[in-house]
Amino acid sequence: MSTQNALLTILIEKINNDTLVLPTLPAIALKVRKAADDPDINLNQMADVVGKDPSLSARMIKIANSAYMGRTVKVNSIGQAVTRIGLVQIKNIATALAMEQLFVSKNEVVADFMRREWDRTVLVVANSMAMLQTYTQRTKKREMSLDTMTLAALVHSIGVLPILTEAERHEEVFASPTFLEVAIDKLSGPIGGSITREWSFGQPFVDIAEYWNDLSVIPENITYIDFVRVGAALAGKMESQKDAVLNLAIQRGVLEDVHELTSDEFIEMRDAAKQIFA
């Protein structure tokens, strides 16, 4: 059996036996999500929760002062930042910011793969956010939120992590970019679905993690997966399907025409979104 097939066999067997080790959300993300789900939580209490993590606090203040929030008056404290962002948005934003902690490895090949995957994921996020903003401005439809779009785009490739973790455990055999690309292409979707279910994310997140690169799965109405697909196509993750993705987006009304994607407004919104994770 080839090395490539051996890795696939091990992963498939673990998926079927429900023994694949799935990543867990960083502790601070779990605390923020739990606090946000408390109907009695107030802004001051949420600020205390976020304030226990200096890194997250700094990133929250940065977001509160960014073009993402569309404000000109600067905030200087986590309390002000939480007030500006709001309880509804802070759950997804905190989760999104904490997710970078998952993309680490001690193996050089795997670590490089994770860094590249994270960088590409951030680009998918930025493209998706800019696409949603462009769509909202054009259609005036506001059913979808930017913070949910952020998290949805971030988890689209979460299924990659267990594959890379397994490769790290058997680095002498599996830590090869060629083998990893094949395994990711074949297995990251169903694994991503398993992870988002394990994390108790809603069905829209599960669908995105499982089917974002499967164009045979097309929701009846426009959903976050439409924007993730455009974001991924622009980020170079769907090279062979890029034209199909963009044509589908135009047919469904997500995109008016491809010129929207090279407009100054789109580029400005994309670059502002990227700065959140800089």
Residues 153, 235, single domain; the answer is: yes
Residues 172, 151, single domain; the answer is: yes
In a domain, residue 17? The reply is no
Residues 124, 74, single domain; the answer is: no
Name the residue range of residue 140's domain.
Answer: 103-278
In a domain, residue 73? The reply is yes
User: What does the alpha-carbon distance between residue 8 and residue 227 come to, in Å, rounded to a whole number?
Assistant: 30
Last residue within a domain, chosen from 101, 116, 140: 101
Residues 136, 267, single domain; the answer is: yes
> Which pLDDT score, from 0 to 100, does residue 3 have?
58
pTM of the model: 0.84
- Residue 120: name the closest of 257, 251, 237 by CA: 237
In a domain, residue 4? The reply is no
Q: Give CA separation, 57 vs 73, 96, 127, 266, in Å.
A: 18, 13, 25, 28
Here the CATH number for the domain that contains residue 127 is 1.10.3210.10
Residues 216, 107, single domain; the answer is: yes
Residues 135, 272, single domain; the answer is: yes
In a domain, residue 16? The reply is no
**230: its two tokens:** 């455009």
DSSP conformation class of 277 = T
Residues 95, 137, single domain; the answer is: no
- Residue 165: name the closest of 185, 188, 186 by CA: 188
Handedness of CA 82, 84, 89, 94 (dihedral sign): negative
Residues 172, 67, single domain; the answer is: no
> Which pLDDT score, from 0 to 100, does residue 173 have?
63
In a domain, residue 185? The reply is yes
In a domain, residue 19? The reply is no
Phi-psi category of 70—alpha, beta or left, where left has phi over 0 and alpha has psi -120 to 50? left
Taking the CA atoms of residue 266, residue 276, residue 24 and residue 185 in that order, the dihedral angle to the nearest 10 degrees is: 30
Q: Judge whether 58 and 28 are in contact, CB under 8 Å.
A: no
Residues 153, 120, single domain; the answer is: yes
User: What does the alpha-carbon distance between residue 127 and residue 272 come to, in Å, rounded to a whole number?
Assistant: 10
Last residue within a domain, chosen from 57, 74, 101: 101
In a domain, residue 12? The reply is no
Last residue within a domain, chosen from 46, 76, 101: 101
- Tens digit of pLDDT per residue, the chain (278 long)? 465 566 667 777 877 777 777 788 888 888 888 898 898 999 889 999 999 888 888 888 888 887 666 666 788 889 888 888 887 778 878 888 888 888 888 878 788 888 888 999 999 999 999 999 999 999 999 889 888 898 899 999 999 888 888 777 776 666 567 777 777 888 889 889 988 998 889 999 999 999 999 999 999 999 999 999 999 999 998 888 999 999 999 999 999 999 999 999 999 999 988 877 77
In a domain, residue 56? The reply is yes
> Number of C-alpha atoms within 13 angstroms, CB side, residue 204?
17
- Residue 183: name the closest of 113, 118, 101, 239 by CA: 113
Residues 127, 111, single domain; the answer is: yes
Number of domains observed in the structure of the chain: 2
